[in-house]
Structure 1
Amino acid sequence: MSHDFMNTKEVAQYLGIHEKQVYALIRAGKLPATRITGKWLFPRQVLEEWIESQARSALQEVREKTKEVSGALLAAGSNDPALDMLLTFLGNRRNTFIFTSTVGSVWGLKTLGEGKTEVAWCHIYDPQSAGYNTPAVVKPYLGDMPYVVIRLFTREIGLLLPKGNPVGIRGLPDVLNGDVRWVNRQVGSGIRIFFDNYVKKAGANPQDIPGYGEEVYTHLEVGLKILSGQAQVGLATVAIGRMLELDAIPIMEEPFEMIVPKASFFTTGVQAIIETLNSHSFREKVALLGGYNFTEAGRISYAGV
Structure 2
Amino acid sequence: MKQDGSLCNNLKSIRTRLGMSQQDLANIAGVTRQTISGVESGQYAPSVAVSLRLAKALGCQVENLFWFEEDLPEVEAVLTKPVPTGRQVRVSLARVGGQWIAYPLVGNDAFRIEMIPADGEAQGQIGTNKVQVRLLDDMDKLHNTVVIAGCTPVISLWAKATERWHPQLRVHYNFANSMAALRSLDRGEVHIAGMHLYDPQTGEYNIPFVREALAGKSAVLITIGVWEEGLLVPPGNPMGIKTVSDLVDLGATIVNREPGSGSRMLLERKLQEEQVPFHTLKGFEHIVHSHKDVALSVVSGIADAGVSTASIATAFGLGFVLLHRARYDLVILKEYLEEAPVQQLLSTLGHRLVQSQLEVLGGYDISKIGEVVATI
**Shared fold per TM-score greater than 0.5:** yes
Which structure is higher in RCO with an 8 Å CA cutoff and minimum separation 6? 1
For 2:322 and 2:347, the matched residues in 1 are separated by 29
Task: Tell me what 1:267 maps to.
Answer: 339
Instruction: Select the residue among 266, 274, 279 that pairs with 1:202.
Output: 274
Judging changes above 3 Å, is the alpha-carbon distance between structure 1 residues 215 and 170 closer, same or farther for their aligned structure 2 residues?
A: same
Alpha-carbon displacement from aligned partner over 1:200-221 (angstroms, at most 9, x marks no partner): 3433321221111111222121
Distance in 1 (CA, whole Å) between partners of 2:250 and 2:179 is 28
Specify which structure has the higher proportion of helix.
Answer: 1
Q: Map 1:1-305; keep pairs closer than 5 Å.
A: 56-57=81-82, 61-62=91-92, 63-64=101-102, 65=119, 69-76=142-149, 78-95=150-167, 96-134=169-207, 136-177=208-249, 179-304=251-376
CA distance in 2, matches of 1:154, 1:207: 31
State the shift of 1:176 in Å: 4.1
Q: 1:237-293: per-residue Cα shift (whole Å, max 9, x none)? A: 111111111111222221111101112224333333333221112222332211112
Question: For residues 74-109 of structure 1, what are the alpha-carbon distances to aligned partners after superposition, in whole Å with 9 as ceiling and x for unaligned?
Answer: 222x31122221122223332322212212111111
> Unpaired runs of 5+ in structure 2?
1-78, 84-89, 93-100, 103-118, 121-138
Query: Separation in 1 of the partners of 2:364 and 2:237?
Result: 23
Q: Distance in 1 between matches of 2:189 and 2:158?
A: 22
Alpha-carbon shift at residue 55 of structure 1 (Å): 7.3
Aligned-pair CA distance for 1:173: 2.5
Give the match's secondary structure for 2:142: coil
Cα distance change of structure 1 residues 56 and 125 upon mapping to structure 2, 3 Å threshold: farther
Aligned counterparts of 2:257 and 2:194: Cα–Cα separation in 1 = 16
SS in 2 for 1:149: strand
Q: In the alignment, which residue of structure 2 is the partner of 1:34?
A: none
Q: Is the 8 Å Cα contact of residues 226 and 366 (structure 2) preserved in structure 1?
A: yes
Tell me, yes or no, if the aligned pair for 1:178 and 1:210 is still in contact at 8 Å.
no
Structure 1 residues 147, 173: closer, same or farther in 2, change over 3 A? same
CA distance in 2, matches of 1:73, 1:243: 27
CA distance in 2, matches of 1:274, 1:211: 40
Amino acid at match of 1:111: S
Distance change in 2, residues 1:201/1:56 (3 Å): farther
Name the residue aligned to 1:50. none
Secondary structure class of the residue paired with 1:159:
strand
Structure 2: which amino acid aligns with 1:123? H
Q: If the length of structure 1 is used for normalisation, what is the TM-score? A: 0.75
Looking at structure 1, the residues matched to 272 and 242 of structure 2 have their Cα atoms a distance apart, in angstroms, of: 20
Q: State how far apart, in whole Å, the 1-side matches of 2:360 and 2:296 are.
A: 20
Gaps of 5+ in 1: 1-53
CA RMSD of aligned residues (A): 2.3
* Cα deviation 1:147-173 (Å, max 9, x = unaligned): 111111111112111012111111223
